[in-house]
């Protein structure tokens, strides 16, 4: 009986067979993935190391690459490269570059600098050359200035002629004597000399178109700031400013309100129409030419009234142009050289050489 009954496999083997085969397949897949991972791992590390090393290297300088403008043409229609980032590039320059091949409008010329004509009366005296030397040293620093030097003499003196020849300034040397009857104390001085300068100026521009200019009466016994010439150069008609050390005061000046002259701060005759010193005003050249009869008067002019009598012929107080910060800065001084003491000078020349002083 036992021999005829078939034997059954153990229940453990029947239950575990398929499970064992399934588990064995999963282990095989994992082993394959792990083996491939470990094979690729060194290469991954090498790539990471190379990338890290490359990022630590300094970046090479960027070389600007040329580009071609469609508006620039060379010979045969070839395009010319333009460099980016060059000195001609930048905001607002692309249009300038693009139009270089086309016609350009001519550049607008700058307006000419107005010429300052300085009329200086002078006369022979021991300090004459010293006064003119100081004045020339100032004028040499002023651009576009023409010096009209008028001697009170019947002929040009050698001293003044030599002085002007060495001064290195654009100049005109005139002479006219003051009549003896007008050389009395209390009478106006330098009237004929200033009028001679006005006559020369009008004759010079009589047959030609007058360029912008300004007339200024520069006495040789004054001291001038260079700033004064910058102020007067913009004169449209008649400009005014303060003068120092004049009229028995530290200064005299026009009184200004709201940019207009309304009166005068002066120590002598404030009732004058123009209570101003000869060094305190400048006149446009066009005004001088437009008023050919405007001169300094001898007849009917009271002492100290020459400025007023002259200005009344060409302007009004309301038209005056205040300069020097609304007439609050002194830029010219009526200094006058001290009268020299020549008590020990011999009557006859005793030195072996003759020296010009």
Strand order, beta sheet including 281-284: 171-175, 145-151, 115-122, 213-217, 281-284, 238-240, 321-322
297 inside domain: yes
The model's pLDDT over 328-339, given as tens digits with 9 standing for 90+, comes to 999 999 998 888
Q: 122 labelled as ligand-binding? A: yes
Phi, psi of 276 (to 5 degrees): -140, 150
**105 part of a folded domain:** no
Domain with 144 in it? 115-241+277-313
- As averages over each run of 10 residues, the pLDDT of the chain (357 residues) reads 46 45 58 74 79 60 46 39 43 47 72 94 96 97 98 97 97 97 88 98 85 95 97 98 95 97 94 95 96 91 88 97 98 88 82 83
Instruction: Count up the domains in the chain and report the number.
Output: 1
Identify the pLDDT of residue 332. 98
Asked if residue 221 belongs to a known ligand binding site, the reply is yes
Catalytic residue among 252, 307, 321, 338: 307
In a domain, 233, yes or no: yes
Q: What is the pLDDT of residue 148?
A: 98
User: CB neighbours (10 Å) of residue 67?
Assistant: 10
Q: How far is CA 124 from the centre of its chain?
A: 39
Task: From 230, 197, 174, 205, select the one nearest 296 (Cα to Cα).
Answer: 197
* Structural domain includes residue 45: no
- What is the reported pLDDT for 122? 98
Ordered DSSP codes for 238-264: EEE--EEEETTEEEEEEEEETTEEEEE
Q: Is residue 52 a known part of a binding site?
A: no
In a domain? residue 142: yes
Examine residue 48 and state whether it is found in any structural domain, yes or no: no
The pLDDT value recorded for residue 73 is 38
Cα–Cα distance, 105 to 53 (Å, whole number): 58
Q: Binding residue per annotation — 138?
A: no
Q: Has residue 182 been placed in a domain?
A: yes
pLDDT confidence of residue 87: 42
271 annotated as a binding-site residue: no
328 is in an annotated binding site: no
Whether residue 63 is annotated as binding a ligand: the answer is: no
Return the pLDDT at 11: 43
Whole-prediction pTM: 0.69
Residue 307 is a catalytic residue: yes
User: What is d(CA 111, CA 320) in angstroms, rounded to the nearest whole number?
Assistant: 24
325: left (phi over 0), alpha (psi -120 to 50) or beta: left
171-181 pLDDT, tens digit per residue, is 999 999 999 99
Position 330 in a domain: no
d(CA 257, CA 39): 98
CATH number at residue 149: 3.90.550.10
User: What pLDDT was estimated at residue 146?
Assistant: 98
pLDDT at 115: 97
Of 289, 290, 275, 271, nearest to 320 (Cα)? 275
Please report the beta strands in the chain, taking only residues with DSSP state E, as ranges in sequence order: 67-73, 79-82, 115-122, 145-151, 171-175, 213-217, 223-224, 238-240, 243-246, 249-257, 260-265, 281-284, 321-322, 332-333
């Amino acid at each position: 009986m036992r021999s005829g009954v078939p034997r059954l496999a153990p229940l453990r083997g029947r239950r575990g067979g398929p499970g064992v085969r399934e588990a064995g397949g999963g282990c095989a897949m994992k082993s394959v993935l792990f083996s491939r991972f470990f094979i690729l791992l060194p290469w991954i590390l090498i790539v990471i190391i190379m990338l890290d090393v490359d990022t630590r290297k300094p970046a090479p300088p960027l070389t600007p690459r040329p580009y071609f403008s469609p508006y620039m043409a060379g010979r045969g229609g070839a395009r010319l490269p333009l460099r980016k980032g060059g000195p001609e590039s930048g905001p607002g320059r692309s249009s300038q570059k693009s139009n270089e091949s086309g016609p350009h409008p001519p550049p607008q010329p700058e307006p000419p600098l107005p010429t300052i004509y300085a009329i200086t009366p002078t006369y022979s005296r021991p300090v004459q050359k010293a006064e003119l030397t100081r004045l020339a040293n100032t004028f040499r620093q002023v651009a576009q200035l023409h010096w009209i030097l008028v001697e009170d003499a019947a002929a040009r003196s050698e001293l003044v002629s030599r002085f002007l020849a060495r001064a290195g300034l654009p100049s005109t040397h005139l002479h006219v004597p003051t009549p003896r009857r007008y050389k009395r104390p209390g009478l106006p001085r330098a009237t004929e000399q200033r009028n001679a300068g006005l006559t020369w100026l009008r004759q010079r521009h009589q047959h030609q178109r007058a360029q912008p200019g300004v007339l200024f009466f520069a006495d040789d016994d004054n001291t001038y700031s260079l700033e004064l010439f910058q102020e007067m150069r913009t004169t449209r008609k008649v400009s005014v400013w303060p003068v120092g050390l004049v009229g028995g005061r530290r200064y005299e000046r026009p009184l200004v309100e709201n940019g207009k002259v309304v009166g005068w701060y002066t120590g002598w005759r404030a009732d004058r129409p123009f209570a101003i010193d000869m060094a305190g005003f400048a006149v446009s050249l066009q005004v001088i030419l437009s008023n050919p009869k405007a001169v300094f008067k001898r007849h009917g002019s009271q002492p100290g009234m020459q400025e007023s009598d002259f200005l009344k012929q060409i302007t009004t107080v309301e038209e005056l142009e205040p300069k020097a910060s609304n007439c609050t800065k002194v830029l010219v001084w009526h200094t006058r050289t001290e009268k020299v003491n020549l008590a020990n000078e011999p009557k006859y020349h005793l030195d072996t050489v003759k020296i010009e002083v």
